[in-house]
Structure 1
């Protein structure tokens, strides 16, 4: 039973009531956090998706790795090699979707041996290439605008690319990334400096 005031001028009961109502309420316990996403399992799942009947996202990543394994950033690179790899992945996917098994030739999707992947630089290039393939597959935007050809010139040449059996005027460039350090000069890229260019399909 609520006590009545001792006198008409006694407001202590009112003060006590207001004080009780104005006390800070105890907040509810925080909602439990959702379980963390297993990024490795998610990535493997994406990599098993088919870009074409005979090419998975993982295959694309392996080809990107084969083409760009020897490349690394330079202070003057216009974008990180990771970004260039994603463009190469788009280019490979575009060729497969446009031409199927007759797509322009790129490095075959060969899995590197476990011993090679113990090398930190090789592992980093492999992981970067796989991420590039996943990102390209999931992306709604193709920065290469449908490019299907790849070339790695040793100068920042932006002229049309001409190739045997192609159009006399060649095909126009779509993107140019670089320059990058090339740790493995060879017949195809005979320099320690290289750019990564993608080119449009024939019209």
Structure 2
């Protein structure tokens, strides 16, 4: 199977349109089966929500929310011709409103707000596209050993997370559309007691 690397900034409309054209050329008469929106950025504001400047919030929103909309809407015609019709948006436990009181240790306020907005975007697409037999999910990939995730203090390698996310992608069906899913990687806990990655659905 051939591999193609096609790059584009998710904040650049012209670059995204060029990427769609190139992907369309590669696929020919075939459609696109799966789209994974993984690009993202975060922030650090240890002085609290009040210290988040409007321009900083907008900058994070532009990538984490508007970027997802820009990519998804641009690739939708190719996805409509695909067989699987899956859109996977990479979210975060930090975006869960139900778990917000348990994630105060992370001063990434703009990130939390933007990912919560992206979750809403996910649900809107799930509702709009359900009749067209699309499966649209948000997936929390875990706490990763990346520059964004926290380096070596985090729990999972990118390889562990990627395989766990792909497990969800492969199994996802129309019955799962509109959900926020947790990965399944046994052996990691939060606070020493709570299983971190048991799989299944997470609360919004």
Per the normalisation by structure 2, the TM-score is 0.26
Q: Which has the higher relative contact order, 1 or 2, with Cα contacts under 8 A spaced 6 or more apart?
A: 1
